[in-house]
Amino acid sequence: MKERNHTDAYSLLQESLVRLEQAAGAQDPYLVPQLVELARLHVQHDAPEAARRVLQRAIDIVQAQPGHEQQQVDALNEMLSEIPVQQAA
């Protein structure tokens, strides 16, 4: 996705997510793809802990849905496990 490399993508996605939450609710499954993309951007901006929080939130949203697909949870958990651990300076 070329937009991911755009200098404003990071702030625009965060702003978009806030608006989606206001419109759909903080636990709406529609937020999951945006949360995943935001996690990717956090990693690109050297913010792995923020990425972990966002991905965990996506996992929680998916798991809260009745009849959720375990495969989706597994894929999100795999992404979470691949985020580098931030080293203390």
Q: Which domain holds residue 41?
A: 2-81
77 exposed, middle or buried (CB, 10 Å; 0-12, 13-18, 19+)?
A: middle
Q: Is residue 40 part of a domain?
A: yes
pTM of the model: 0.85
Distance CA 33, CA 58 (A): 8
Q: Count CA within 13 A, CB hemisphere, residue 20.
A: 15
Give the total number of structural domains in the chain: 1
Tell me, what's the pLDDT at 7? 67
Give the tens place of pLDDT for each residue, 32-77.
999 999 999 999 999 999 999 999 999 999 999 999 999 999 999 9
Q: Is residue 89 part of a domain?
A: no
Give the tens place of pLDDT for each residue, 13-27.
889 999 999 999 999
b/e 47-67 (16+ beta carbons within 10 angstroms → b): bbebbbebbebbbebbeeeee
- Mean pLDDT rounded to a whole number for the chain: 89
Structure tokens at 74: 């597994």
Give the tens place of pLDDT for each residue, 1-15.
444 556 688 889 889
